[in-house]
Structure 1
Amino acid sequence: MTPVAQFAVPLSNPVAHIVLAGALGLFLGLEREWSDKPAGIRTFSLISLLGAVFTILDYPELLAVGGLLVVVLGTVLAIRGLRDVDFGLSLTTSVSMLVAYGVGALVAAGYVIEGVTVAVVSSLLLVLKRELHSFAGGLSRAELRSTTEFAVLAFVVYPLLPGGDVTLGSGRLAVEIEPRVVWLMVVAVAAIGIVNYAIVKNYGGRGIAVTGFFGGLASSTAVVGSMLDAVRQRPSAASYAVAAVLLADAAMALRNLAIVLAFTFPTVLVGALIPLVVIVIGSIVVAALTADWNEAVEMDLDSPFSLRNALAFGVMFAVVVVAGGVAQAEFGRIGFYVTAVLSGVVSSAGATASTVSLYRTGSLGYETAVVAVLLATASSVLVKVALTIASPNRQFATRVAVWSGVLLAAALVAAVLVTL
């Protein structure tokens, strides 16, 4: 018998379910006990055991009665908290008790992973009370609105979209897309922007690494614009401005790498991953060796997330998917490559995501998808070189062009070696 099978047998035993339910209830009650609440370790553990026992007995009415008893007990605690100032309001404790009952029922019903997940997440919510209240209280109106809009995109729109492949067009011009995967990529890019916003807000004025790299996750073009302005005001700042542009390239390549890795697993586009890794590591190494790390650049962001920008990205992404599929059908690989280069100028993430989407549905072959991702990435690097040409500081523009050329050449060598 394999180790996995040996481990699976006891977990299917009702006794194991009861023990695990009691342990998870104890785990949930730890924070309540530590916070000196009226219900602690013993109460929570007993409630979870109650849920497990009633579930194993397989009488739905008995399980419902047990849940009602927990609700009544929680209500009594809440009312007592309202009447006794020293006792304190116990709404959180009351709800936590009901959660503990549900965890016990989940585990006893065989949903072990789900029960453990609920217990862990609930415990985190209890332990991080101060941090969560501080975070919520510090949100501005714009940040709160952005967070709500993101939640709508991620948790409301996504389930409404059809699952599986959807065919657009007919005959030679038919293109298959996965609406949920397309939307998930839009949500992923928006999530990256939110994380970037939080980091830049906290550390944006403390170093070029944050400004360049995390700013590049949201918009590498914005980083270039910021560096052009900095170099114009302070010509001596060219060294760290070059580093910022290179770190923006690293962030862009890392974002594309993440999209490829996440959405092509297990049939990963290895031919694209290796060159992208070369660009990421090479950009970081060059920036680390050439930058003046004592300098800092402020990068102000107005909002963590823009619904309009996200929808615009989604529309552009869908257009690129359809246009790329049509170009592939009408003109073969060359047509799709041209589409990848042009869309990469606007957004390499959009071009990469559209390529991955077509690859997942079988509309693109492995080699075509690899080349398209690399062309979109190279297009993004070269457009930043073109933007720096506008700088009156020739040293800045020249160094960006030279180092970008070196990185692209190294990525090309890596791509050739992978195909050998």
Structure 2
Amino acid sequence: MNEVPLQLVEAPLEETVVRIALAGALGMFLGLEREWSQKSAGIRTFSLISLLAAVFTILSLETAVGEGLLILGGFLVIVQGVLLAVQGLLGDEDAGLSLTTSVSMLVAYGVGALVAAQYIIEGVTVAVLSSLLLVLKRELHEFAWGLSREEMRSTTEFAILAFVIYPLLPSSYDLNLGVTEITLEPTVIWLMVVAVAGIGIANYAIVSTYGDRGIAVTGFFGGLASSTAVVGTMLDHVRQRPDAASYAVAAILLANAAMAARNLAIAVGFTIGGGSPVLVEAVVPLGAVIVVAFAIAGLTADWGQSSEMDLESPFSLKNALAFGAVFLVVLVFGSVAESSFGTLGFYATAVASGFVSSAGATTSAVVLYRGGQLAAAEATIAILLATVSSIVVKAMLAATSSNDGFRNQVAIYSVALLLGGSLASLVFIV
């Protein structure tokens, strides 16, 4: 009885007629936006192109003449696309729109071929992403046109880090320090650097778009990239407007929540699929910090107010490399300290590095855990110590404010966050 559902799920996609029907449906899906935009090629044309590709692909897999037909079909689609582009140049239709339609037809042909060749997931992915690109045409144009020179440069630098440097790095490297030998994972380390930089870019886009609509956006999303930036902004805001202390405190709390969420994402996300079990031990204490921060912010803030954050460039190659350098130094010194003074040495390193970058200390602990140099409990403690350091340093920065109410509230609520995380850890252990 248990084998029947599995057969029902697997059998249809292996049937030729089902794959032909799916190819036609995906072609219709791709042509939907073109039809809605009243272009020269719409639902029927795109569906027929995908069906043609599916038929020729199946013939190429099962007969000797099919491969030639598949190539001929692709050539005919290209010719038709060129004719549409020329028609757009000579007629009233925008040449760029005609070119988009022409390329979309070729994509539809490719989707039909992928599905017929049993690359189902790949074909569906291409169809969905292509449809999104067509639907989000205006938004993508506005985004590209609205980029400043600095933003364009930052985007290019990020693309180089993510798509050029990352594939060139080795999967592992043994670093001999004399007193100890560390097995580094350059690809994982660089992926973490790219992930943190990507969070910064996403934060920049969201805060730039919605920053003046509420402190929840500026505090939480600002804290994903730099919680210190949130504190600095709120310090200046409270200095200029003392009555803004309640939601300035909420912004710092939400920045702490974002910082804890980022560390939790690194701790869990980068241990999925590795040789070691997922680091679930960090979920409860960090989750408690997030929940307590949101609860206090929701109860104490005046949500009728709003604040703007003046963020710098969305991404900086210098900052990314600096983060990578801090992370590598923490990793090396943490390993040396652990080798010389045991686990306590690495804990001390995690506390110190948490004042600079809790993400760096978290990634260091995760890499050592993945390499088997730290146990799950030890890696979790190091992550928590770095998180505590980050909360404490923000409270220390807030203590420089001349507003007594503001600095006292930040101090009290920071203690509440620490107690909440500690109690959750004790309950979980017991």
Q: d(CA) in 1 for partners of 2:51 and 2:210?
A: 47
Q: 1:326 to 1:63 in 2, by over 3 A?
A: farther
| Aligned: 1:360 with 2:370 | yes
User: Given residue 38 of structure 1, which amino acid in structure 2 is its aligned partner?
Assistant: S
Q: Which residue of 1 aligns with 2:44?
A: 42
Residues 250, 84 of structure 1: alpha-carbon distance in 2 compared, 3 angstrom cutoff? same
Give the aligned partner of residue 70 of structure 1: 77
The Cα shift of 1:171 comes to: 7.0
Gap runs ≥5 in structure 1: none
Q: For 1:4-403, what aligned pairs fall within 5 Å after superposition? A: 4-58=6-60, 59-85=66-92, 90-163=98-171, 165-169=172-176, 173-265=180-272, 267-403=277-413
2:135 is matched by which residue type in structure 1?
A: V
2: distance between equivalents of 1:308 and 1:361?
28
Shift of 1:417: 1.8
CA–CA distance in structure 2, aligned partners of residues 112 and 230 of structure 1: 54
Q: Shift in Å at residue 395 of structure 1? A: 2.5
Letter in 2 for 1:403: Y
How far apart in 2 are the matches of 1:36 and 1:310?
A: 45
Question: Does the aligned pair in 2 maintain the 1:343–1:376 contact within 8 Å?
Answer: yes
Per-residue deviation at 1:244?
Answer: 1.7
Contact 1:352/1:372 (8 A) holds in 2: yes
Aligned with 1:90: secondary structure?
Answer: helix
Encode CA deviations 1:101-148: one digit per residue, 9 max, x unaligned: 111111111110000000011111111112211221222211122112
Deviation of residue 238 (structure 1)?
A: 2.3
Contact between 1:176 and 1:363, CA under 8 Å: does it hold in 2? no
Instruction: Judge which range, 265-274 or 64-73, deviates more.
Output: 265-274
Q: Does 1:416 align with 2:426?
A: yes
Change in Cα spacing, 1:295 to 1:33, as seen in structure 2 (3 Å) is closer
Q: State the shift of 1:87 in Å.
A: 8.1
Q: Does the CA-based 8 Å contact 1:247-1:284 persist in structure 2? A: yes
Task: Give 1:331's aligned amino acid.
Answer: F
Q: Structure 1-normalised TM-score?
A: 0.95
CA contact (8 A) 1:271 1:419 kept: no
Q: Which amino acid aligns with 2:336?
A: V
Q: Secondary structure at the match of 2:112?
A: helix
The number of residues matched between the two structures is 419
Q: Deviations over 1:6-43 (max 9, x none)?
A: 21112112222111111111111111122222222121
Unaligned runs of 5+ in 2: 61-65
Per-residue deviation, 1:198? 1.4
**Structure 1 letter corresponding to 2:356:** V
Query: Relative to 1, partners in 2 of residues 1:54 and 1:296: Cα closer, same or farther, differing over 3 Å?
Result: same
The answer to whether the 8 A contact 1:175-1:326 is kept is no
Identical positions, percent: 64
Query: Post-superposition shift, 1:220?
Result: 0.9
Once the two structures are superposed, residues 69-115 of structure 1 have per-residue CA deviations (whole angstroms, 9 ceiling, x without a partner) of 11111111111221222586511111011101111111111110000
CA deviation string 1:346-394 (max 9, x = no partner): 0111111111111112121111101001000001001111112222223
User: Aligned-pair RMSD on alpha carbons?
Assistant: 1.7
Give the aligned residue type for 1:81: G
Deviation at 1:60, TM superposition (A): 3.4
Query: Within 2, Cα distance between the matches of 1:87 and 1:317?
Result: 50
Describe the SS at the equivalent of 1:346. coil
Amino acid of the structure 1 residue aligned with 2:291: I
Give 2:201's aligned amino acid.
I
